[in-house]
Structure 1
Amino acid sequence: MKLSSLFIATIAIVGAFALGVVTQVINPSEHVNALWFVIAAACFFIISYRLYGAFITAKVLSIDERRITPATRLADGRDYHPTHKWVLFGHHFAAIAGAGPLIGPVLAAQFGYLPGFLWILIGAALGGAVHDTVILAASVRRNGRSLAQIAKDEIGPVAGIAAALAILFIIIVALAGLGLAVVNALSHSAWGTFTIATTIPIALFMGVYLYKIRHGKVAEVSVIGVVLLLLAVIFGRYIPGSGLEPYFNINKNTLVLLMAIYGFVASVLPVWLLLCPRDYLSTYMKIGTVLLLAAGVMFIAPDIQMPMVTKFVGGGGPIIPGSVFPFMFITIACGAVSGFHSLISSGTTPKMIQSESEIRMIGFGAMLAEGFVAVIAIIAATILIPGDYFAINTKLSFEQLAQLGFPVSKIQELSQIVGVDVSGRPGGAVSLAVGMAYIFSNLPGMKGLMPYWYNFALMFEALFILTTVDTGTRVARFILQELGGYAFKPLARTNWMPGTVFTSLLVVGAWGYLIYSGSVSTIWPMFGVANQLLAALAFCVGTTIIIKMGRLKYAWVTFIPMLFMFIMTITASWQLFWIFLDKAKKAINPADIFTFKLDATLVAMMAVLAIVTVTDSVYKWYGYLMGKREIVTSEVVEWATDMEVR
C-alpha cells in the first residue's frame, strides 16, 4: 500500500470514530466533548479535498495548467491582474467568509448541535466546494465573466436576464445584511473601529510594497503586514478613554456613510492596491484566530452543553420560528453552501488566478476552510449552557425560558466578567463572542483576559464581514455594468472609468440605503432565502456547462445539489412569503405594514426568477440530450507553450 493511501485510510478511521462520538453512536450516555468536533471535521475535510476535490478538477473539469488564464491574457493592472496563489487564496477566502460561517451556525444551534454540524460537513464537501470550484473554472475559461453573463451565453437570454436580475437583487440584499452586522458590531466601539480602520492604510502600503517597491516579495510583505496588524490590535485596546476615542466612537449612521465611502473606493481602485492586500492581510487574522480557537478547544476540551437535538426541530423556536427543514438550511449558508460564493468565483477571483492548476486549492480548499470556521462557530455557541445561549439570543425573560425547559444559569456572571450586559442581544454575534472569549480565556496565561477577548471577538467578526462587503461591491459593479451595456455599450467596458464610477455609486447607494433604513428582522430572512436560491441557480449553470463539455455522466455532481437546494429554497420562500403577509396584517404602524408587504413581494419575485431560470435550463438540457439543439459554448481556449508552462 502506498504511503499516501495509508495516510488517507488512517485519517478515515480516526474521522469515523470521532463522528461516531459526536453522533453518540459511541458512548451514548456521556457528554460529547468539543474535541471530537474538531477531529471529525478536520479528517472529513482532508479526505474530501484529497479525493473528491481531485475527482472534480481532474475528471469533471479536466483542469489543464497549459491553458492561459484571463489574468495573463487580459491583464490591465486594475481588474485583470496575475496574483500569487497564496495571496489570491487569502483574498478569495476573505471574500467568501462573511457573516455566514460565524452567525448562521450560532443561530441554528437552536435546533441542537447535530443538525447544523452534519449540514456543515456534508454541505461544504459535497455542495459548497463543488459549487465554488465549478463556477470558478467556468469563469476562468470565459474571460472572467460573471455568473449572469455565463448564464446568458450558455443557457440563453431568458435565463441570462432572469439570473442577472436575481443576482443583482441578491447581492445588494446580501451586502446590506452583512454591512448591517458590521455597523451593529462597531457602533460606539472605539477599539474595534480603530483596528478595522487601520487595516486600510496597512493594505495600501502592502499593495505598493509588493507590486512597486519589492515586487513579488510575498514573504516579506506578509511578515510586515502581520506585525502591523498585531500592533493595530494591541494599540486599539488603549483607544477607549484616550483623546482619540471621540474620533473612533462612532454612531450607526456615520458608520453607514463611512462604510459606503470605503465600498465605493475599494470597488474603483485597482485590485492590487487595496482590495487584494487588505483581504490577504485580514485572512491572516481570520485563519490565525480560527486555528487558535481550534487549538484552544483541543487543549481545554470543553463539553458540549447543548442537546444533540432540541424540541424546536419541528418549529416554534424562540430564535428561528420555522422547522429544521427548510429553515436551518437557509440559516447556515456560508460554511455549507452559499450562492454568494458564485459571485466571487465569477467576479474578482477568476480575473486574478495565474494558472488553472490553482483552481482546486482556491475554489475547493477555501470552501472547506470556511466549513471548518463554521464548525468552530457552532462549538463556541454550544459550549454555553442552553439557558444562557437562549438568554443572549432572544428577548424572552428568564421565567419564560425556564418554562420552555431552558433555565438561565450563569448569564449574570458572564455579563460581569466581560463588563457588558450580554442578555437580550439577538443576532448571534454576542453569543459567539462570549463562547470565543471563554475558550481563549481558559488557555494558559489568559485567565482574567476575558473582557479583552470578548471585544477582540466582536472585532474579529466585523473584519470577517467587511472583507466580503468590499469584494461584493466590486462584483455587483461588474454585473450592473454588464446589464447596463445592453442600453449603452460603453458602460459594459470595465476599463471605462465614468461607467465604473457611476455603477459603483449606484451599488453603494442601494445597499447603504437598506442598511440605513432596515434592520436584521427585515434584511436577514430575505438574505437567507435569496442566497440559497442563488446557489440553486449556480448549480443549474454548472450542470449546463458540464453537459456541454460532453461529460453527462458526471452531471450528477451539480444536478443533485441543485435539486436539493431548489426544492428547499422554494419551500422556504413559500413559507416566508406567508410569514411576511401575516406580520403585515398584525402590524399597526403603516411603515411596518409597507415593509412587510414589500418583503413578501421581493421574496416572491426571487422565487419566480429562479423558477424561470431552472425551467429554461431543463428545456435546453432536453434539447441537447435529444440532439435537437446544437451545443455552442462561449469558452475561450488559448494554450501556452511548453516553455511558458515551465
Structure 2
Amino acid sequence: MVTTERPREPEGPGTGTAGPRRRDPRQIAIWTAVAVVGAVAWAIVAFVRGEQISAAWLVFAAVASYAIAYRFYSRWIAHRALRVDDTRATPAERLDDGQDYQPTDRRVLFGHHFAAIAGAGPLVGPVLAAQMGYLPGTVWIIVGVVFAGAVQDMVTLFFSTRRGGRSLGQMAREEIGPVGGIAAIVAVLAIMVILLAVLALVVVQALADSPWGTFSLAMTIPIALFMGVYLRYLRPGKIIEASVLGVALLLLAIVGGGWVQDSSWGEVFHLSANQLTLALVVYGFAASVLPVWMLLAPRDYLSSFMKVGVVVLLAASIVLAWPTLQMAPLTRFASDGLGPVSAGSLFPFVFITIACGALSGFHALVASGTTPKLIQKESQVRVIGYGAMLTESFVAIMALAAACILDPGLYFAMNMPATVLGPTVESASAAVQQIGFTISPADLAAAASAVEEQTLVGRSGGAPTLAVGLSTVFSEVFGGDALRAFWYHFAIMFEALFILTTVDAGTRVGRFMLQDTVGNVWPRFADTSWKPAAWLSSAVIVGAWGYLLYAGVKTTRWAASTSSSHCSASRTSCSPPSRWRSARPC
C-alpha cells in the first residue's frame, strides 16, 4: 500500500526554514568579490560609449548576476516563501509506476529538465534581437530571468510537486472552475502544438541535406537506450559510469558524422525536409509512449552534456580571445521600429523576440509535466527549477554575444529578408548599404568560403548567424582559420541537437495535457499508465504538430511563437494567492 507521507531525515540546506548561520569571513570575501566584478562589468556594458568593448564583459556580468541570484534570492524563495520540506514524499515516490512516475537522480533530472526547456528560444531570439544593439537584450535576459523566468519555473515545479504532479491545466481547473479551467487547458494545448511545430521546423532546417548532423543526432537515440538500460538493470545508481560511457559514445558519433558525410553512407543520411519531418514524428511518438527512464530522460541528460559543454567552452573562448562587440549598444532600430530583420520598436518587441532565456510560458508546461513526476525531494526544485533556467539564460547571453561580435554588415546580410537582399552578393551589399552599414561583395563571398558554404546571404532564422559567430570565436582559440568550416558545421549540428530535446519532452507534456483534458469527461483516459490513452493522445499530439510542420508552419513567424509562449506565462501567473495557500504545508 502506498502512503501519502513518508517521514525521513531532512537532507541538505534546502529543507525546512533557514536557520541562523555563522558568517564565514571567506564566504563574505568571495561574494563581495563576485559582486564587485559584476558591478564593474555592468558599468562597462551599460555606460561605456564611443568605443568598442569586449564581449567578455557580457560573460562577467551574466555569471556574477546568476551566482548572486542563485545563492541568495533563490534560497530566500525556497526557505521563506515556499518553505520546501524534504520530509514530505514526492509524487515520484508515492506514485512510482516505472513509466511516468519514477524517482530520478537529481543530476539526471537536471539534465532532462534543462534539455527540455532549452530549445530554439535562447539560440534564435537573442540573435534576432541583436539588431537593436547588445544592451537591450543583455538587460532583459539577465534581469528577466533572475526576477521572472527562473522564479516562474521554480514556483510552478514546487506547486505541481505539492499537488501530486498535476499539470498546469489541472491546477488551473481547480483554481478557476471547470469552464474556465477547460478553456485554459484548450488554449495552452493549442499554444503547445504551435510551439512544437515551430521548434521542429528549426531542427528540419538545420538537418536538411546534412548527413553529418543527421547521423550524429540519430546516434543519440541508441546511446540513450543503452544508458537507460545500463542504469536500470546493468549498473543501477552508477550515474558517473553511465555518463562517461554516454559522453564517449556521443563524441564518437559526432566525429563519425564527418566520416559518414564523406563516405557512401552519406546518401543514407542525406534526408530531405519532408523525410526529416516524418522521422521527427516517429521519434516524437516513441519518446512520448516509452517509459521515461528508457529514452527521454537519458537522452536529454546526455544532450545536456553537449549543450552545457559547448556553451561553457564558448564563454571560456570569449574570455581568452577577448573579441570586441561590433554591434552598437543601442541602434536606431530600437527607437524607430524599422528594423530590417523584424519590424517593431524596443518596447514591446525585445521582450517578444527574446522569450526563452528570460521568461517563457513553455517552461511552466515542462515544470508541471514530466519533471514533477521524477523529482526525489522538494528541496531540489531550487537547483532544477531556478538553476536550470539560469543555465538557459546563459545560453541566450552567449548567443547574443556570438551575433554581436560579427561585422554588422555581415549580420544584416544574413538576416534581412531574401526579397530585400536579392540573389547575389552585389545586391546584398547594396541593400545593407541602404540601411547605413557597409560590407563589400568580396567580404560576403569570403565569409561564405571560410565556412565552406556557397553563400551566407539571406540565411535568416538565427541559427546560421550563431554558427558563424561560434566558429569565429572557436577558430581564434582552437585551430585557426583552417578549422573554421569544421566549427561552423559542428555548430549547426549542435543547434539541431539542442532543439530536438525540447520537441520530444514537449510532446510528452502535450500528451499529459490532452489526457487531462479528455479525462474531464472520461476519467479513465486521464490515467497516464493506461496504454491505450497514452498511445492515442501521443498520436494526436505528434499528428497535430507534424501536420503543421509538413503543411504550413513554414509561414509561421518567430514573433507569433514567442508571443504564444508569453501568453502561457501570463496564464501560469493567474490566481497566485490561492495557489500559494494550497501549496503551503499544513
Fold shared per TM-score above 0.5: yes
> Of residues 539, 543, 546 in structure 1, which corresponds to 2:573?
539
- SS of alignment partner, residue 579 of structure 2: helix
CA distance in 2, matches of 1:444, 1:328: 33
> Of residues 516, 540, 565 in structure 2, which corresponds to 1:482?
516
Matched, 1:9 2:42: no
CA distance in 2, matches of 1:458, 1:320: 22
1:523 Cα shift? 4.7
Answer yes or no: is the 8 Å Cα contact 1:151–1:160 preserved in 2: yes
1:45 Cα shift? 0.5
1:528 Cα shift? 1.3
One-letter code of the match for 1:301? W
- SS of alignment partner, residue 477 of structure 2: coil
Answer yes or no: is the 8 Å Cα contact 1:256–1:515 preserved in 2: yes
Answer yes or no: is the 8 Å Cα contact 1:305–1:386 preserved in 2: yes
Matched, 1:124 2:145: yes
Q: Deviations over 1:585-636 (max 9, x none)?
A: xxxxxxxxxxxxxxxxxxxxxxxxxxxxxxxxxxxxxxxxxxxxxxxx4x59
Partner of 1:419: 452
> Of residues 111, 122, 141 in structure 1, which corresponds to 2:132?
111
Partner of 1:135: 156
1:97 Cα shift? 0.3
CA distance in 1, matches of 2:575, 2:160: 11
One-letter code of the match for 2:278? L
> Of residues 361, 373, 387 in structure 2, which corresponds to 1:365?
387
Partner of 1:407: 438
- SS of alignment partner, residue 466 of structure 1: helix
Partner of 1:613: none
1:461 Cα shift? 0.5
Matches within 5 A, 1:181-192: 181-192=202-213
Answer yes or no: is the 8 Å Cα contact 2:103–2:374 preserved in 1: yes
CA distance in 1, matches of 2:539, 2:294: 20
1:445 Cα shift? 3.2
> Of residues 393, 405, 420 in structure 1, which corresponds to 2:415?
393
Matched, 1:350 2:372: yes
Answer yes or no: is the 8 Å Cα contact 1:155–1:544 preserved in 2: no
1:152 Cα shift? 1.0
1:372 Cα shift? 0.5
1:487 Cα shift? 2.5
One-letter code of the match for 2:438? P
Answer yes or no: is the 8 Å Cα contact 2:196–2:545 preserved in 1: yes
CA distance in 1, matches of 2:536, 2:558: 27
- SS of alignment partner, residue 238 of structure 1: helix
Partner of 2:346: 324
- SS of alignment partner, residue 271 of structure 1: coil
Matches within 5 A, 1:289-328: 289-313=310-334, 314-328=336-350
Answer yes or no: is the 8 Å Cα contact 2:83–2:584 preserved in 1: no
One-letter code of the match for 1:484? V
- SS of alignment partner, residue 132 of structure 1: helix
Cα distance change on mapping 1:480 and 1:416 into 2, 3 Å: same
Q: Deviations over 1:44-72 (max 9, x none)?
A: 00000011101111111111111110000
One-letter code of the match for 1:385? D
Range that drifts further, 27-36 or 368-377: 27-36
Matched, 1:51 2:85: no
Matches within 5 A, 1:1-400: 2=24, 3-23=26-46, 25=47, 27-313=48-334, 314-394=336-416, 395=418, 396=421, 397-400=428-431
Answer yes or no: is the 8 Å Cα contact 2:405–2:469 preserved in 1: yes
> Of residues 468, 471, 475 in structure 2, which corresponds to 1:437?
471
CA distance in 2, matches of 1:330, 1:69: 35
Answer yes or no: is the 8 Å Cα contact 1:187–1:251 preserved in 2: yes
Range that drifts further, 157-166 or 354-363: 157-166
Q: Deviations over 1:388-412 (max 9, x none)?
A: 1000111223212101101125322
Q: Deviations over 1:566-591 (max 9, x none)?
A: xxxxxxxxxxxxxxxxxxxxxxxxxx
1:254 Cα shift? 0.7
Matched, 1:524 2:546: no
Cα distance change on mapping 1:73 and 1:236 into 2, 3 Å: same
Structure 1 runs (4+) greater than 6 angstroms displaced: none
Range that drifts further, 313-322 or 125-134: 313-322
Range that drifts further, 483-492 or 419-428: 483-492
Answer yes or no: is the 8 Å Cα contact 2:197–2:553 preserved in 1: no
Q: Deviations over 1:6-46 (max 9, x none)?
A: 222211111000111111x2x43321111111011000000
Partner of 2:15: none
Answer yes or no: is the 8 Å Cα contact 2:82–2:584 preserved in 1: no
Matched, 1:501 2:535: yes
Partner of 1:449: 483
Unaligned runs of 5+ in 2: 1-22, 422-427
> Of residues 473, 484, 489 in structure 1, which corresponds to 2:507?
473
Q: Deviations over 1:417-441 (max 9, x none)?
A: 1110111111111111000011111
1:147 Cα shift? 0.5
1:154 Cα shift? 2.5
1:413 Cα shift? 1.3
Q: What value does the CA root-mean-square deviation take over the aligned residues?
A: 1.4
- SS of alignment partner, residue 77 of structure 1: coil
Partner of 1:616: none
Partner of 2:11: none
One-letter code of the match for 1:8? W
* Equivalent residues, number: 550
1:90 Cα shift? 0.3
Matched, 1:513 2:544: no
CA distance in 2, matches of 1:110, 1:470: 31
One-letter code of the match for 2:504? D
Answer yes or no: is the 8 Å Cα contact 1:320–1:327 preserved in 2: no
Q: Deviations over 1:360-399 (max 9, x none)?
A: 0000000001111100000000000111100011122321
1:543 Cα shift? 4.7
CA distance in 2, matches of 1:8, 1:221: 35
1:541 Cα shift? 4.6
CA distance in 2, matches of 1:69, 1:637: 13
Cα distance change on mapping 1:541 and 1:470 into 2, 3 Å: farther
TM-score by length of 2: 0.92
CA distance in 2, matches of 1:56, 1:637: 15
- SS of alignment partner, residue 482 of structure 2: coil
Partner of 2:19: none
CA distance in 1, matches of 2:479, 2:492: 21
Answer yes or no: is the 8 Å Cα contact 1:134–1:542 preserved in 2: no
CA distance in 1, matches of 2:557, 2:575: 27
Answer yes or no: is the 8 Å Cα contact 1:142–1:636 preserved in 2: no
One-letter code of the match for 2:447? L
Cα distance change on mapping 1:311 and 1:28 into 2, 3 Å: closer
Answer yes or no: is the 8 Å Cα contact 1:485–1:491 preserved in 2: yes
CA distance in 1, matches of 2:295, 2:477: 35
